[in-house]
Structure 1
Amino acid sequence: MILFLFIYFVIIFAVIEIFVILFRLTGLKRDVSRFQVISMMTATGFTTGESELILGHPIRRKLAAFLILFGVFSLAVIISSISQFLSRGLGLREILLGAALVMLVWGVLRLNRMQRMLGAFFQRKITHQIELADLPVREVFLKNKHDALVNLHIFQDSSLAGQTLNQAIAEHDGLELVVLFVKRGNVVIRKNIYDTRLQEGDRVLVYGLEEAIMEIFGNDIAVMEERLDKLEISEDEVL
């Protein structure tokens, strides 16, 4: 029984680590990758906010599809197979060989050279076969750790309320940020954004350097966070 549990957990651990590496090579953070891999294998979680990073990425979707199917069938298949072998006292060598093979794959994927090769392969697949519209917004805009994309809610006590962006931001053309659009109810305003007088309830989508955004919109972001905390709205709902 102990041997059975050990072999089973070794295989599951190795599969999890293999897919953590594969997801990380597509650009996903390690901690996010591990949680999502475990969620998909066990069908317990797969949270909405982080799962969009997988659902909106073609290569990650393929990896996820295999992982979900593996999670569905692996438990019954592995348990029945190992139990049968152990109960008959046969096939221990084959079981250990299979576990060793999975561990070998994991070990190979941990090699820096192999990770560089797979990373380059994934990048070529993205470059040649994936349309820009297929990628999630974060993949398109956030190219480095200094970039930020802020969905700024305007409240009555926001400094931007009742003003145009031209009035609120002096010499905005020289700043390393851009306002993409203003959402007012179901209407998306894309024309004359900087001359549009902002109202309570508007949402302003701002892209640029995080430092520049915080310098210009820091007070309004603080107001938004305070008001949203009081309304108990989660970050996923904000974004």
Structure 2
Amino acid sequence: MIIFIVLEIMVTLLIITGLDKEIARFQVVSMLTGTGFTTKESELILRHPVRRKIGVFLILFGAFSLAVIISSMSNILAESFRIKQLSITTGVLALILLVVKYPGFSRRMSARYEDHLQKEFELHELPIQEVLYLEEGDLITAVEIFDDSEYLGHKVCDVFESEEDINLLFLHRGDIKIRGKRWDCEVQEGDILYLYGSKEAIEKKFAKELERLQEITIDEKNAAAL
């Protein structure tokens, strides 16, 4: 019961920082037990200054305190059956959980958390979601240009229309990242366009390229599984 309450408290704190509920729960269980899998989702913890602190606590709690708590509980129940002390501990943690889950607390902590990030951390230390204020309909992605792309041979400035909600951050060509003169470049096979904007607009405009990239990714996974 105690472990479950601690887990729920940590999940709620991660959600307050902007992490998705399911991702937060998986990462908390992973760090708490030390038995999870390493995924790209873990980067959401590692690249975020506040979440890293929560992660450090969970790892230490899972490695040391969890064993101590289980041992202490066993001794208490075996030697003197001190239900009162155990109930008090559980009650205190349950009270903390109720406070953390209270909507007013979540709103206040979210506001303080955002203010803390702006005051205490440099721009390059912040997760990209915080820097660009990403919302549900926003997307940051890399689109690779293949040999059958309709944009081959076109100038970058002609690929994007002014009314489209798509921003080209930079163009990656070989070992070169082109920023300042990206709009004057002619699109070539192998170019990678780093885009930021409307998820719907990007997926519609580069549907063929994204589909081709997905097929290649699936083929690579199948080949690796052989």
Do they superpose with TM above 0.5? yes
Whether the aligned pair in 2 keeps the contact of 1:159 and 1:220 (CA below 8 Å) is no
Specify the SS of the correspondent of 1:207: strand
Distance 1:201 1:232, change over 3 A: farther
SS at match of 2:162: helix
**Aligned pairs (5 A) from 1:79-90:** 79-90=70-81
Q: 2: distance between equivalents of 1:123 and 1:46?
A: 29
1:100 aligns with 2:91: yes
State whether structure 2 residue 21 is matched by structure 1 residue 30.
yes
- Consecutive unaligned residues of structure 1, counting only runs of 5 or more, are 1-9, 234-239
Query: Does 2:12 match 1:12?
Result: no
Match of 2:107 among 92, 102, 116: 116
Q: Which residue of 1 aligns with 2:132?
A: 141
Residue 209 (structure 2) aligns with: 220
Deviation at 1:14, TM superposition (A): 0.5
* Cα contact 1:166–1:195 (8 A) shared by 2: yes
Q: Which amino acid aligns with 2:47?
A: G
Distance 1:210 1:90, change over 3 A: closer
In the TM superposition, 1:43-192 aligns within 5 A as 43-45=34-36, 47-141=38-132, 143-169=134-160, 172-192=161-181
Q: Distance in 2 between matches of 1:45 and 1:186?
A: 35
Give the TM-score taking structure 1 as reference length. Answer: 0.85
Return the offset for 1:143: 2.0
Q: 2:117 touches 2:126 (CA, 8 Å); kept in 1? A: no
What secondary structure, in the 3-state scheme, does the structure 2 residue paired with 1:173 have? coil
Query: Is contact 2:144–2:193 with CA below 8 Å preserved after alignment?
Result: yes
- Does structure 1 retain, via aligned residues, the 8 Å contact 2:169–2:196? yes
* 4+ residue runs over 4 A deviation: none
Alpha carbon RMSD of aligned pairs, Å?
Answer: 1.9
* Counterpart contact for 1:177–1:213, Cα < 8 Å: yes
Partner SS, residue 50 of structure 2: helix
Q: Percentage identity across aligned positions?
A: 38
User: Quick one: which of 190, 197, 200 aligns to 1:211?
Assistant: 200
TM-score (normalizing by structure 2): 0.89
* Conserved? CA contact 1:142–1:148, under 8 Å: no
Contact 1:159 1:219 in 2 (8 A): no
Match of 1:4 in 2: none
